[in-house]
Amino acid sequence: MMKAIQLEQPKQFRRIEVPEAAQPGAGEALVRVHRIGICGTDYGGYLGKMPFYSYPRIPGHELGVEVLAVGDGERNVSPGDRCSVEPYMNCQQCYSCRRGSGNCCENLKVLGVMTDGGMRERFIVPARKLHKSTKLTFEQLALVETLAIGCHAVNRGNPQEGDNVLVIGAGPIGLSAIEFVKLSGARTLVLDLNQQRLDFCKRVMRVDETILVNGSELEDLKRATNGSLAQIVIDATGSNKSMANALDFCAFTGRLVYVGITQQEVTFPHAPIMHRRELTLLASRNALPDDFTRIIRLIEEGKIDTRPWITHHAAFDEMIEAFPTWLKPEAGVIKAMVAME
């Protein structure tokens, strides 16, 4: 038997034992979990606010793993490889998959959300979902999935050098988007309710402008952009109110990308803003295999510094007790990391 942690229902974790993982078949790999990153999806599942979550569930989809064994004929990975896991289990058969959009597969099962994830010692995963590196640590590999969410969202917005890009929400997903806005050469602006987070963005992330939500944020954005507003707005809040108001910040012919998720309705006036400015509204879901490959290369090359990201740690046996404290704003959590060993 193996130790595992299960989220039995909202706000109720429990330690359990699960059967030992099987040996891998064709196209599969048996992996040992070393690090598990905690993200907004985990918090949403814990609070009962994640629309795709089902219970009971073994969480964990931001993973740094070691390959223990592979199925016959497998060439993508070998025993001993250190890998990041692409946790989007797509069917490879539906319309979306056939078009290369497995991130929004019609039958998608995300590890730790719709099917059991990596908060257990070992498990079987399709080998095609493993992205190896000979240089990155397990913690860095566990961070790749968070960065991939931001990478894909920025790709959806397609910023060009010199564009004004406003990221709303400076939590982990917003920060991951900021990394890739900066790499695009666009001008990076960040809007948030929390001055501490904005200070972090300015000091550590080196963003061009920060704007505090204080009732005058639209005027502040106009001043920061010489009146043009933002060509691209990326809303990473998961707040239906913020998502509705985000249109106000879009320049004429601008693009708005929703990467945060809400269970509430999002409403906005069509003619005065959406139609008059000829805006484009985009959703961003998960990420693509090439995003993982690109991110691993960028970290290896030193173009993404992972050091500021990981602010909190817990051993596996400490996770249940520590988890609720990470939800408190005063804790200053950017990324919490759980160590299996």
Asked whether the predicted pLDDT for residue 9 surpasses 80, the reply is yes
Asked whether the predicted pLDDT for residue 228 surpasses 80, the reply is yes
Mean pLDDT, range 229-238, rounded to an integer:
97
The tokens of 129 are what? Answer: 């979902």
Burial 210-231 (b: 16+ CB within 10 A, else e): bbbbeeebeebbeebbeeebbb
Q: Which amino acid is at 201?
A: C
HEC string for the chain: CEEEEEEEECCEEEEEEECCCCCCCCCEEEEEEEEEEECHHHHHHHHCCCCCCCCCECCCCEEEEEEEEECCCCCCCCCCCEEEECCEECCCCCHHHHCCCHHHCCCCEEECCCECCCCECEEEEEHHHEEECCCCCHHHHHHHHHHHHHHHHHHHHCCCCCCEEEEECCCHHHHHHHHHHHHHCCEEEEEECCHHHHHHHHHCCCCCEEEECCCCHHHHHHHHCCCCCEEEEEECCCCHHHHHHHHHHEEEEEEEEECCCCCCCCCCCHHHHHHCCCCEEEECCCCCHHHHHHHHHHHHCCCCCCCCCEEEEEEHHHHHHHHHHHCCHHHCCCEEEEECC
Q: In the prediction, which pLDDT does 112 show?
A: 96
Where are the domains positioned within the chain? 2-132+309-339, 150-283
Q: In the prediction, which pLDDT does 269 show?
A: 83
Q: In the prediction, which pLDDT does 263 show?
A: 84
Among residues 109, 125, 150, which one has the least CA distance to residue 64? 125
Annotation: CATH topology of 150-283: Rossmann fold (3.40.50)
Q: In the prediction, which pLDDT does 341 show?
A: 77
- Provide the whole-model pTM: 0.94
| Domain 2-132+309-339: CATH architecture, name and number where available | Alpha-Beta Complex (3.90)
CA angle 37, 263, 48 (to 5 degrees): 50
Mean pLDDT, range 100-120, rounded to an integer:
96
| Structure confidence by residue, pLDDT tens digits, 124-160 | 999 999 999 999 999 999 999 999 999 999 999 999 9
- Torsion sign over Cα 171, 172, 174, 178: positive
Asked whether the predicted pLDDT for residue 271 surpasses 90, the reply is no
| Structure confidence by residue, pLDDT tens digits, 154-198 | 999 999 999 999 999 999 999 999 999 999 999 999 999 999 999
- Torsion sign over Cα 177, 179, 184, 188: positive
2-132+309-339 and 150-283 share one fold: no
Q: In the prediction, which pLDDT does 52 show?
A: 83
Q: In the prediction, which pLDDT does 106 show?
A: 97
> What is the pLDDT confidence band of residue 262, given thresholds at 50, 70 and 90?
confident
Q: In the prediction, which pLDDT does 270 show?
A: 85
Q: In the prediction, which pLDDT does 156 show?
A: 98
Q: Are the CB atoms for 254 and 232 separated by under 8 Å?
A: yes
> What is the pLDDT confidence band of residue 49, given thresholds at 50, 70 and 90?
confident
